[in-house]
Amino acid sequence: MSYISPKNRAVLITGCDSGFGHNVCYQLDSYGFHVFAGVLSTDSESAEKLRTKCSNRLKVIKLDVTLDEDVKLAVKEIELSGLDLWAVLNNAGIAQYALVEMGPGIDIFEKTFAVNVFGLVRVTKHCLPLLRRSGGRVVNMASVAGRFTFWGITAYCMSKYAVRAFSDGLRKELMSFGVKVVTIEPNMYKTEIVNLDLLNKTIESVWLQTSAQIREDYGGHTFYEQLKRRLRYNVEISRPEVHEVLDVQEKAITLCEPDLYYRCAAISEKPSLWFLSLLPESAQDFFLTGKIFLLIIRVLKMNVTDCEEVANVFNQIKCSGLELWAVVNNAGIAINAPIEWGHDIRELSHTFDVNVFGAVRVAKQSLPLLRISKGRIINVSSLAGRLTLNGLSYYSMSKHAIRSFSDGLRNEVEYFNINVITIEPVLYRTHIINWSLMKNTLDKVWDQSSEEVKSVYSDKYRRGYERRSKSLVEVSRKQIKEVTDYN
């Protein structure tokens, strides 16, 4: 194996306040890199430790990945240093232990995605011009939870499914520029993200913000104590060998030819994870929760927009005296454009607000009525929720997240005899696959792109991209009845 030289090369790391991000700074500093360590506060104890224990090559910078201004200033500082930005390690992440129905609205989902997904994309987009010049790489921290949805951390799992889809899409788009994209998928390790005291405080706060009716439906204080016991168990079984992940992070940055994916787990765990990945979701549920359930489909069509409208719809259903049997989360949009085009992460945010957060809003509002009827939720995902399609990365990310949401929700509401079904159509001739609309969107996103992006991708690239996009319409199936019959 051959390794790159760290001379005059910089690495930007997000989430260096604690955990993997903090500890890998020491390794990469020792290797000889100029490390830009992003922290939430440059006055914190962890920031001072980095300044004290590392060489003067390491620079601690304020970097909240949810703030566009912080990201722009960080990238500007790297540019002014005169160094080549060799790698971006997207390490910042948060996790919250809570069931889908717990907490107010969809706050947990929005906060988790703001850091784990939108923050990661924001940092990456701002750094891509520098990475193209250096021929460097993007290293994204995903998780085993990006392949299997575990009970109690659905929002976190959804975000990691989306990160995995983003990595796959970005890798395809950057191949022609010689920029590599590496994804690291750790199992559960003893870092700050699994700090029992912090997790207990968080789950207590979320539980108290959950309505009294929902708390009662789940079993009240008895269920709350069960939650804390499961949480304690998960922390106890997490691996203390954090160096396994740090060594992989170093490899991803220093190897001339790194792997596309690195999975970090005990040697004894890897065969089980591989076997589990081959099973259908219903069989995975058996191993992850100890239960298997029969899936039957019936659909009540519903369109979603915002929180207030969703609440009004379900209030009308409740007042009608009718029994709500099923909800289909069918609303969706797709923006067909490369990741680097457009204005910051506006297109990504809009896609997720409809395709993901819309589905979560509807599900949370519908569950009290579905518990009464023992009904079902049907989430319309896509083949793009399993394969990240070139040019449809944002759409694929949202559908990966929906698949994870379905798996997590199904595990949680099985107790109430509510079924959760996922439908995954291939390409069909719907409003999403409409060339006129696709062309208008493509032109709009192109016009919003920076002059540098336009010069790099060129009119020739754009015309070729349009031809490939149009071919999607030509190969899409017209037999929409195949999907509606499944419903």
Catalytic residues: 156
Evaluate whether 134 touches 9 at the Cβ level (below 8 Å).
yes
In angstroms, the Cα distances linking 41 to 69, 117, 347 are 15, 21, 29
| Composition of the chain by helix, strand, coil, percent to 5 | 55, 10, 30
* CA atoms of 261 and 13, how far apart (whole Å): 18
Collapse the DSSP code of 399 into the 3-class scheme (helix H, G, I; strand E, B; otherwise coil) and give the result.
helix
* CA atoms of 161 and 356, how far apart (whole Å): 12
**Sign of the torsion formed by the C-alpha atoms of 103, 107, 110 and 111:** negative
* CA atoms of 261 and 459, how far apart (whole Å): 33
Strands in 84-90's sheet, in edge-to-edge order, are 59-62, 34-39, 9-13, 84-90, 137-141, 180-186, 261-264
DSSP structure class, residue 49: H
**Sign of the torsion formed by the C-alpha atoms of 271, 273, 274 and 278:** positive
For residue 358, give every residue at least 6 positions away whose Cβ sits within 8 Å of its Cβ, in sequence order, or none. Answer: 304, 305, 329, 331
* CA atoms of 432 and 382, how far apart (whole Å): 12
* CA atoms of 138 and 428, how far apart (whole Å): 33
Residue with the two structure tokens 């949680």: 412
Estimate the crossing angle of helix 154-174 against helix 120-134, to 10 degrees: 20
